[in-house]
Amino acid sequence: MTEESKTEQIARRICYALQDAGHETYWAGGCVRDRQLGIPPKDYDIATAATPDQVEALFPKTVAIGKAFGVIAVIEQGIQTEVTTFRAESPYSDGRHPDTITFCAAKEDARRRDFTINALFYNPRTEQLIDHVGGLDDLHQQIVRAVGDPVQRFQEDRLRMLRAVRFSHTLNFQLDAPTRQALQAESPHITTVSAERIQEELSRTLTESQQPGHALITLHATGLLDHILPEAVELMGVEQPPDYHPEGDVFTHTVRMLNLTNPHPASNAYTPRELAYTVLLHDIAKPETFAWHPDPKNGGQRIRFLGHEKIGATKADAILQRLKLPTRERQRIVSVIANHMRPFQAPAMRKATLRRMIGQPTFELLLELHRLDGLGSRGLLPSYTFLQKALKSYTAEPALPERWITGNDLRELDIPAGPHLGKLLEEAYDLQLNEQITSRQELLEWVKTQRENR
């Protein structure tokens, strides 16, 4: 039994139990939408006429995750299924939560939901689809439409603006005109949403969209990008050398690369979110490093972005801190951005330098960024092919093997602690990595000569 079918069977049993107790009950929201589209739902939400107290009384294991809003989680076999009482809502003073709720009929509950495609109900017992707001027609026409007045829906919960873009691009649907217009008008208010919620929704958009680069374009067209990531807007119109970037400006290059991240290559070395933000931010400092420099090849001028990777790493670090990305992911992304020009030099590197780069825990993320960097401009780069072969050559033996000589060895040779010792250790390790010395004993002899000569 797969996890999905197990989840569905549990949701079916919960629904039946509530119905058998005399409560009108349906599957609701995203699970109904996805089933209609032939997409296996990841989880199931249930809407019911039963009150939270009645839900708690009916099931042996529950968690009151939002009882004030009518939400009870039913736990069965380790799977959590949210059961929500049909409710109507008063105005949202805080732009996220209703001031008060009242329990109501299913039709009224559907009318308080965000988008018509998420306001469908389904009775698994009778296999009846219940549509009070035209969501089924919008599914067929591939439209994301707000339920009722889109301005009111966005004022109730500002995060719905980002959700509209996500649904549009994960499902490859169009935003209907009134919903788009309301989104554009209300977009400045996205700044009232917490950074954590914005990051979570932006991350899902970048990792779940069929073409994440096109989602970035929509975020800009609706005005949202200006408020959640203005640094990305600054990439627009930043010219690049046509010899290296025939695709156009930095924003276009970033869009092309983001589109290439889906489907995500299977990897245990990095997450889709790490890849998405690394791509999104890798050239984020090109606007401030743009400059014309003499071109010795033709005696003219050429565009260069000297140091953009280092400045960009600092800038990306600040952005990711602002978005509250987890520290470890942020540090890995920043490290890759800081070093993303190094792979271009790989074919000319000494073996030790190459092995040190390959041995870094972020190398596979760096290599994937390098692959996309090439495909997003002129095509696959020779340096990528070179690095891919080099990485495969170290499957049997690690790129960074155990050191033959440690600080203890040097101290036994009466070499005092300090910067000199550390430098000597690294020089010895370079000789080992370069395979210029083939044994520990030979390396110890080399160290002795260095001690005598320094």
Residue 397 lies in a domain: no
Dist. CA 163–CA 166, nearest whole Å? 5
pLDDT of 77 above 70: yes
| Shared-domain flag, residues 387 and 249 | yes
* Owning domain of residue 205: 147-228
pLDDT of 414 above 50: yes
- Segment 71-79 shows an average pLDDT of 96
| Shared-domain flag, residues 164 and 243 | no
- Segment 188-212 shows an average pLDDT of 98
DSSP 68-96: GGTEEEEEETTEEEEEEE-EEE---TTSS
pLDDT of 94 above 70: no
- The number of folded domains in the chain is 4
Residue 402 lies in a domain: no
pLDDT of 97 above 80: no
pLDDT attached to residue 1: 38
Dist. CA 60–CA 448, nearest whole Å? 74
**Domain finish residue from 125, 141, 157:** 141
Residue 400 lies in a domain: no
Q: In this predicted structure, which of 67-81, 154-168, 438-452 has the lowest mean pLDDT?
A: 438-452
| Shared-domain flag, residues 213 and 240 | no
User: Residue type at 167?
Assistant: F
Inter-residue contact 283 to 256 (CB < 8 Å): no
309-344 pLDDT tens trace: 999 999 999 999 999 999 999 999 999 999 999 999
- Segment 29-33 shows an average pLDDT of 97
**Domain finish residue from 141, 164, 192:** 141
Query: What CATH number does residue 387 fall under?
Result: 1.10.3210
Residue 77 lies in a domain: yes
Residue 114 lies in a domain: yes
pTM here is: 0.92
**Domain finish residue from 124, 141, 158:** 141
User: Residue type at 296?
Assistant: P
Under the banding of pLDDT at 50, 70 and 90, the label for residue 437 is very high
| Shared-domain flag, residues 242 and 388 | yes
Query: What CATH number does residue 207 fall under?
Result: 1.10.110.30
Mean pLDDT across the chain: 94
Residue 221 lies in a domain: yes
The set of long-range contacts for 124-132, using a CB threshold of 8 Å and a minimum separation of 24, is: 124/11, 124/12, 124/15, 124/16, 124/27, 125/15, 125/16, 125/19, 129/32, 129/36, 130/26, 130/106, 132/106, 132/107
pLDDT of 225 above 70: yes
Query: What CATH number does residue 27 fall under?
Result: 3.30.460.10
